[in-house]
């Protein structure tokens, strides 16, 4: 067999290994869509009684080179449990396990899961809300989960403050071995006024202990109504950066942030709380943050188009590792005439590629769209479609692994399922040029 023939066989074998489903996209080889896998079903198995599946979250396991996707199984008449599926770098389904079914005896649904991977302990911290009083009081709880679901630590409570209900927990991991801890943030709402009141934060050690009390990261105010918190950890500064949305006046909402000490989670002061983008009179919403694990953060959000009640765009801003803006202005990532909302993002620390995903309203349905670029690109390449418009609900999620990105999302087809699509890294393909 000639060297060329061997190469063809290797290429063919690699394509078979790397492409879940039927065939690679027919788009041009160097276009972003040529690097997309077909859509594949994550919320398996589908036998037995069929729950609705909602709210996917995803993290990458850098030791086993796989992803863990978690979501909520919701059934009529009450109970909801959290489930997990392991996904290989090539989109293969590796195995599912349940996360909370042993806790259901108390009758409190668990919801809004988020997770972070801990590469020192080779485990995940799963955070979620527990419904204490129906549609009124929610606490944030957590448990440690073995990488393969082999064990699940006892459930423990992170946030349960008087007169507060907690929503939308997020978690980031401090990877410095002598620190090895997490920061958990959540939106705290006043259960009396039903207004957003705080973005709360608390350090959780790798063993689940909590030596520091929970505290307000944002300014506590029912005028500002800070909420929609998100968090990233940056090893260069040994700090967390937390972002959130807060009110300026009327319909004018802005994006704010605070740096947090990597050990205690205390707000770094000065500068204390500072703004990321306060463009008025625009409504800016749903901030999300990621780091390249080196020298940058990227914050993204959606914002209204001036004078329109239906058209929203995706914007972003690059920050250095101290949270200082890298440019005078924020920049547009998606700006079609449709409503584009709920951005999430991940950054590939190896090659600096940014990847942002969002929900795009088209007609009566929702599509999932995505944009990827490198800081060296002179302009942002055009966004591309991940999932066509259907009744996709809620926001997508994305994680970066050693072969590229995995985007996960809900899709409703009578029943709601969790689907995913891979976007493979540019250097993953075997070289096109080979010497005979």
Residue 14: strand, helix, or coil: helix
**CB 254 → Ca ion: shortest distance, Å?**
4
Nearer to Ca ion, 92 or 134 (CB): 134
CB nearer to Ca ion: pick between 3 and 133: 133
CA dist 14 and 8 (Å) reads 10
Q: How far is the CB of 303 from Ca ion (least distance, A)?
A: 7
Peptide bond into 396 cis (omega under 30): no
> Which pair of structure tokens corresponds to residue 192?
């009396």
Instruction: Tell whether residue 254 is a contact of Ca ion (CB under 5 A).
Output: yes
Min CB(81)–Ca ion separation in Å: 21
Rounded Cα distance between 275 and 257, Å, is 6
Question: C-beta of 267: minimal distance to Ca ion in Å?
Answer: 22
d(CA 232, CA 241): 6
- x/- binding map, residues 122-161, to Ca ion, per CB under 5 A? ---------------x-x--------------------x-
Stretch 320-359: interaction string toward Ca ion, x if CB under 5 A: ----------------x---x-------------------
Neighbour-count burial of 43, counting CB atoms closer than 10 A to its CB (0-12 exposed, 13-18 middle, 19+ buried): buried
314 contributes a contact to Ca ion by CB under 5 A: no
- By beta-carbon proximity to Ca ion, the closer residue of 284 and 291 is 284
- Residue 313 CB, nearest approach to Ca ion (Å): 5
The DSSP line for 200-241 is EEEEEETTS---S--EESS---TTT--EEEEEEEETTTTEEE
Shortest reach from residue 237's CB to Ca ion, in Å: 27
Using the contact rule CB under 5 A, the part of the chain among 36-44, 284-292, 381-389, 419-427 near Ca ion is 284-292
Q: Determine if residue 234 is left, alpha or beta; phi over 0 gives left, psi from -120 to 50 gives alpha, anything else beta.
A: beta
Q: Which of 190, 252, 320, 394: binder of Ca ion (CB under 5 A)?
A: 252
Q: Is residue 239 a contact point for Ca ion (CB under 5 A)?
A: no
Cα 332 to Cα 315: distance, rounded to the nearest angstrom:
4
Check residue 394 for interaction with Ca ion (CB under 5 A): no
CB 408 within 8 A of CB 42: yes
Owner of token pair 């079903």: 41
Nearer to Ca ion, 116 or 204 (CB): 204
Residue 313 touching Ca ion (CB under 5 A): yes
At its nearest, how many Å lie between Ca ion and the CB of residue 279? 5
Are 386 and 347 spatial neighbours (Cβ–Cβ below 8 Å)?
Answer: no
Q: Judged by CB, which is closer to Ca ion: 164, or 181?
A: 164
Contacts of 123 (CB under 8 A, 6+ apart): 117, 144, 145, 146, 147
Q: What DSSP string describes 85-109?
A: EEEETTS-EEEEEESSGGGGGG---
CB of 192 to Ca ion, least distance (A): 13
Q: Rule CB under 5 A: which of 78-117 touch Ca ion?
A: none
Residue 284 binds Ca ion (CB under 5 A): yes
Helix (H, G, I), strand (E, B) or coil at 110: strand
The answer to whether residue 311 forms part of the interface with Ca ion (CB under 5 A) is yes
**Number of residues engaging Ca ion in binding (CB under 5 A):** 12
Give the footprint of Ca ion on this chain (CB under 5 A).
137, 139, 160, 252, 254, 280, 282, 284, 311, 313, 336, 340
């Amino acid at each position: 067999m000639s060297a060329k023939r061997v190469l063809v066989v290797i290429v063919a074998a690699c394509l078979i290994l790397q492409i879940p489903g039927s065939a690679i996209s027919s788009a041009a080889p160097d276009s972003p869509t040529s690097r997309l896998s077909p859509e594949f079903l994550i919320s398996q198995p589908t036998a037995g009684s069929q729950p609705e599946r909602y709210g996917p979250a995803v993290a990458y396991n850098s030791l086993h080179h796989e992803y863990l996707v978690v979501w909520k199984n919701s059934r009529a008449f009450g109970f909801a449990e959290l489930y997990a599926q392991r996904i290989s770098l090539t989109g293969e389904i590796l195995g599912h396990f349940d996360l909370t079914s042993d806790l259901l005896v108390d009758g409190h649904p668990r919801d809004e899961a988020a997770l972070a991977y801990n590469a020192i302990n080779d485990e995940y911290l799963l955070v979620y809300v527990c419904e204490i009083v129906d549609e009124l009081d929610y606490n944030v709880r957590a448990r440690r989960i073995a990488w393969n679901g082999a064990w699940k630590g006892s459930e423990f409570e992170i946030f349960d403050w008087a007169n507060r209900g907690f929503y939308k927990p997020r978690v980031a991991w401090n990877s410095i071995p002598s620190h090895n801890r997490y920061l958990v943030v959540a939106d705290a709402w006043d259960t009396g006024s039903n207004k957003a009141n705080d973005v709360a934060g608390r350090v959780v050690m790798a063993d689940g202990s909590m030596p520091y009390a929970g505290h307000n990261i944002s300014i506590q105010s029912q005028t500002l109504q800070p909420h929609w918190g998100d968090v990233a950890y940056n090893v260069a500064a040994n700090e967390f950066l937390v972002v959130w949305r807060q009110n300026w006046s009327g319909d004018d909402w802005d994006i704010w942030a605070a740096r947090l000490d990597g050990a205690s989670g205390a707000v770094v002061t000065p500068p204390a709380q500072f703004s990321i983008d306060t463009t008025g009179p625009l409504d800016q919403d749903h901030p999300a943050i990621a780091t390249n694990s080196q020298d940058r953060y990227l914050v993204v959000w959606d914002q209204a188009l001036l004078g329109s009640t239906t058209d929203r765009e995706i914007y972003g801003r690059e920050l250095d590792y101290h949270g200082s803006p890298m440019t005078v202005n924020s920049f547009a990532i998606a700006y079609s005439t449709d409503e584009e909302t709920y951005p999430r993002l991940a950054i590939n620390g190896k090659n600096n590629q940014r990847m942002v995903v969002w929900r795009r309203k088209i007609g009566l349905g929702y599509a999932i769209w995505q944009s990827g670029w490198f800081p060296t690109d002179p302009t942002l390449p055009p966004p591309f479609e991940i999932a066509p418009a259907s009744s996709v609900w809620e926001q997508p999620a994305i994680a970066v692994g050693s072969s590229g990105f995995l985007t996960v999302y809900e899709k409703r087809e009578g029943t709601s399922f969790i689907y995913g699509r891979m976007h493979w890294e540019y250097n993953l393909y075997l070289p096109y040029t080979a010497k005979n």
